[in-house]
Amino acid sequence: MKRKKYAAHYIAHKAKAMEIAKQRITYFNTFYGFMVKGIRIKNQKTRWGSCSKKGNLNFNYRIALLPARLADYVIVHELCHLGALNHSRNFWNLVEKTIPRHREINKEFKKIKIN
């Protein structure tokens, strides 16, 4: 039963999560100009998002349930991995370009459980 509950929750929020991801990537990418190959919404258990070497951005459907500033952080974080596939100083400088309070927001995420 628990599995069906999660599946229904995912289906109910997947389209909204995609809409948010596309809109915010379009907006933030005006500052970066990265090549985004694809965007996917997933039902991940432990991650808010991920970025592949091929340029695909993946987001947890639960970004649709976050306050806008937290969803923006996740989206910018993954978008910036297209410029630096690590968490180097260069990567954080990219994030800081559009999310200057990223350190505070990152601390908030450590308190949030995905499930």
User: pLDDT tens, 51-85?
Assistant: 999 999 999 999 999 999 999 999 999 999 999 99
Query: Is-contact 105 69, C-beta < 8 A?
Result: yes
Q: Is 115 domain-assigned?
A: no
The predicted pLDDT at position 2 comes to: 58
17-46, pLDDT tens digit by residue? Answer: 999 999 999 999 999 999 999 999 999 889
What is the reported pLDDT for 1?
Answer: 46
CATH number of the domain that 23 lies in? 3.30.2010.10
In a domain, 50, yes or no: yes
Find the domain containing 66 and state its range: 2-109
Q: How confident is the model at residue 102, as a pLDDT?
A: 97
The answer as to whether 46 is a domain residue is: yes
pLDDT given for residue 5 in this prediction: 66
CA 39, chain centre distance (Å)? 10
More confident: 3 or 85: 85
In a domain, 77, yes or no: yes
